[in-house]
């Protein structure tokens, strides 16, 4: 199956409008890697928007599962992103467990799942972000467990940063990702916070805890980036720094993520791209940090296991994924009968 040039152009435009941070980082990738990465990320954005922007989230997820079935059957739906994604899946023998893990995160969102503690939040982050990072590694020809583990670290760090940035916006949409035990420690009622999200010293502490956890993982991820092929390192270092810079902007806003939305400007992105190129050159001279061999986070280990095996072996994951869909069906039935 050959990727049609117009399909990739469509994906490029979708990413340019949907994720400026990813678009900026992708500019540093060689074309041979950038094209399939664009196809991957565009499909992931499509899937995210299908669930996030549509009122009937359950119907959107069922539709996405059908689209994924068609992709892995080699008969994608007649849409540029589906065709481009299917071509990428075939070319790189992408394990189906990886996009299914992403969709499981979407199921949790559709169920308005809340998280009791940081470990559960990391499990969510693994699905909606680390799964994408591992798929990028497969595209780059990298299936070593230690490198996949660091890609998972980077994905979790990015997602925690996103959560920190969007606390106010998420609450206004009825979404709550801050661990419930953090609310308990602060003496706050999460239900009341969803009704009336306000900035306080408690939200500042929430934000600092999220960004602190993310920063640790950003640093650990660098060891994995240093093991990637030299041509892709600048882009991956750029992704790491552009996303962590969002945390810097949150700090500049005095950690007000209720009334303000932190974002990096074009000058900052350009500066970070330049620094990332320099860091990539340095990584070719210096030995990679020993932290590359650190064990994966327990919540991301299943992604590493799925990706390190050549081929589309699902490791019985599909059965688990179907059980998650059953959970969504039960959730929908309870809502209808309530």
pLDDT digits (tens, 9 = 90+) for 90-106: 999 999 999 999 999 99
The predicted model gives 239-265 an average pLDDT of 94
The Cα–Cα gap between 207 and 260 comes to 13
The Cα–Cα gap between 23 and 31 comes to 13
CB contact burial 229-250 (16+ within 10 A = b; e otherwise): eeebbbbbbbbbbbbbbbbebb
Predicted TM-score (pTM) of this structure: 0.90
pLDDT digits (tens, 9 = 90+) for 287-313: 878 888 899 999 999 999 999 876 554
List CB contacts of 210: < 8 A, sequence separation 6 or more.
Answer: 160, 161, 163, 164, 178
Lowest mean pLDDT across 71-80, 214-223, 316-325: 316-325
pLDDT digits (tens, 9 = 90+) for 13-22: 777 665 556 6
Which of the pair, 293 or 150, is modelled with greater confidence?
150
Lowest mean pLDDT across 142-146, 148-152, 272-276, 316-320: 316-320
Q: Of the ranges 2-6, 31-35, 76-80, 193-197, which is most confident?
A: 193-197
For residue 285, the model assigns a pLDDT of 84
Structure tokens at 273: 């791209």
pLDDT band at 23 (very low <50, low <70, confident <90, very high): low
Lowest mean pLDDT across 14-23, 278-287, 324-333: 14-23
The Cα–Cα gap between 268 and 247 comes to 13
For residue 308, the model assigns a pLDDT of 84
Structure tokens at 37: 């990465």
Could you tell me the residue ranges of all domains in the chain? 94-313
Q: Domain 94-313: what homologous superfamily? A: Farnesyl Diphosphate Synthase (1.10.600.10)
């Amino acid at each position: 199956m050959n990727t049609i040039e117009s399909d990739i152009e469509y994906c490029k435009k979708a990413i340019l409008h949907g994720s400026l941070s990813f678009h900026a980082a992708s500019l540093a990738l060689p074309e041979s890697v950038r094209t399939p990465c664009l196809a991957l990320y565009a499909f992931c954005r499509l899937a995210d928007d299908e669930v996030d922007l549509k009122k009937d989230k359950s119907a959107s997820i069922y539709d996405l599962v059908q689209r994924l079935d068609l992709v892995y059957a080699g008969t994608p739906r007649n849409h540029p992103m589906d065709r481009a994604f299917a071509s990428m899946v075939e070319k790189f023998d992408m394990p189906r467990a990886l996009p299914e893990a992403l969709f499981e995160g979407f199921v949790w969102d559709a169920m308005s799942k809340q998280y009791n503690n940081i470990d559960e939040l990391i499990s969510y982050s693994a699905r909606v972000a680390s799964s994408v990072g591992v798929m990028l590694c497969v595209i780059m020809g990298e299936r070593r467990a230690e490198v996949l583990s660091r890609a998972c670290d980077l994905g979790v760090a990015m997602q925690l940063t996103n959560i920190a940035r969007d606390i106010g916006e998420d609450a206004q949409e009825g979404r709550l990702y801050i661990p419930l035990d953090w609310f308990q420690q602060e003496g706050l009622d999460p239900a009341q916070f969803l009704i009336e999200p306000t900035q306080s010293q408690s939200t500042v502490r929430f934000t600092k805890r999220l960004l602190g956890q993310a920063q640790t993982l950003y640093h650990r991820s660098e060891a994995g980036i240093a093991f990637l092929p030299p041509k892709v390192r600048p882009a991956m270092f750029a992704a790491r720094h552009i996303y962590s810079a969002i945390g810097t902007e949150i700090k500049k806003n005095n950690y007000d993520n209720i009334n303000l939305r932190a974002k990096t400007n074009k000058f900052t992105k350009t500066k970070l791209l330049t620094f990332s190129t320099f860091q990539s050159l340095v990584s070719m001279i210096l030995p990679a940090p020993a932290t590359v061999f650190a064990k994966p986070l327990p919540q991301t280990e299943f992604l590493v296991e799925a990706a390190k095996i050549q081929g589309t072996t699902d490791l019985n994951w599909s059965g688990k994924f179907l059980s998650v869909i059953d959970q969504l069906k039960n959730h929908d039935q309870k809502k209808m009968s309530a």
